[in-house]
A and B are shown apart, each in its own frame.
Chain A
Amino acid sequence: MRVSLIRIFWIILVSILISFVYNHFNPNGLNLIREERVLIWEDSSALDNSEKDSLLIEKNFSSNTGELTHNEMNQSFDQPKAIKIDFAYKLFKQNVKFIDARSVEEFAEGHIKGAVSIPFYGSEEYQSVLNQISKDEYLVTYCDGDDCDLSILLGDELFQKGYKRVYVFYGGWQDWLKNNYPVEK
């Protein structure tokens, strides 16, 4: 007897129907469409209020050494926070570590000065890079520009791994280039 495609279709259809019914009544059920990641903006960055920016920076870092103040050591985020170019540059000046989520090739063509390459779609070899980064450290992830989501995905991944002070630099490499901020190859 040959395999009946119609029967296969019916088996799968019935299974799918059962799955939706079960999911509907299951208290641990999932939403049909996974919710898009909603970015939480770093307040000052969203408001584009430079005065507030500098206040926050001063609060976060002792201005001279660029190191974390004692109070700040205990503060971590609920989730990665999105920031824009101004705030990103301020963090850059404070020697905060930037992480490039783009591919290795793009990283090689040029990246933010001092940035570390951790391609989101890359191998797990970067684990060794991560091992050298303290979980208390502030990190900024970025990718190509506004449209890319690698920085967000990587930010979430790092956050899951226990890095609780992750900023996602919205605007990324393109904004950085536009502003002629320091880059290197």
Chain B
Amino acid sequence: MKLLSNKYLLFLIRIILGFIFIYAGAEKISNPESFALSISNYKLIPAAALNICAITLPWIELVAGLLLLLGILVKENSSIILFFLSLFTIAIIISLFRGLNIECGCFGKGNQIGLLKLGENSLMIIGSLLLVFFGSDFFKLTDKN
């Protein structure tokens, strides 16, 4: 327990998750159409709602990642990240069960969904869970939390 709530470990997780989400968000923002197609490949969201998701999701990722990196509202932002990670992971699991062999749409092109992706996501989920529970006050921009 003590090891898990180590402030340096939490700080490291915060920085890594922050960068990952900033990158993931920015990449999708740069090419919304390709992200919309990626979502449509999952065949989980009605066509009419695809664009709304493709427009808003990346910005939520980017903002949450940025705030996390800066140490602003760490618990809240890691909750957001935890929520979306869980959502993506469920979508990937459903697709794997359906036998879909599709691009993940996680970080631009060249990411197939698969067990590796599930592993990555599980690690990030654990990381964000830790942040939700313990927060990370180390080296943050504001004192408010």
> What residues of chain A have their CB less than 8 Å away from a CB belonging to chain B?
1-4, 7-8, 11-12, 14-16, 18-20, 22-23, 26, 28-34, 36-37, 120-125, 127
Which residue from B43, B49, B55, B80 sits with its C-beta under 8 Å from A12?
Answer: B80
Q: Is B36 within 8 A of A34, CB to CB?
A: yes
The answer to whether the Cβ of B122 comes within 8 Å of any Cβ in the partner chain is: no
Write out, one digit per residue, whether chain B residues 102-143 have a CB within 8 A of any chain A CB (1) or not (0). Answer: 000000000000000000000000000000100100000000
- Closest beta carbon of chain B to A80's beta carbon, Å: 16
Number of chain B residues whose Cβ lies closer than 8 Å to a Cβ of chain A = 35
The answer to whether the Cβ of B51 comes within 8 Å of any Cβ in the partner chain is: yes
Q: 27 A–B contact pairs at CB < 8 A?
A: A1-B75, A2-B75, A7-B73, A11-B73, A11-B76, A15-B60, A15-B64, A16-B56, A16-B59, A18-B63, A20-B55, A20-B56, A22-B59, A26-B32, A28-B31, A30-B55, A32-B52, A34-B47, A34-B48, A34-B49, A36-B47, A36-B48, A121-B98, A122-B99, A123-B98, A123-B101, A124-B99
Q: Is B31 within 8 A of A34, CB to CB?
A: no
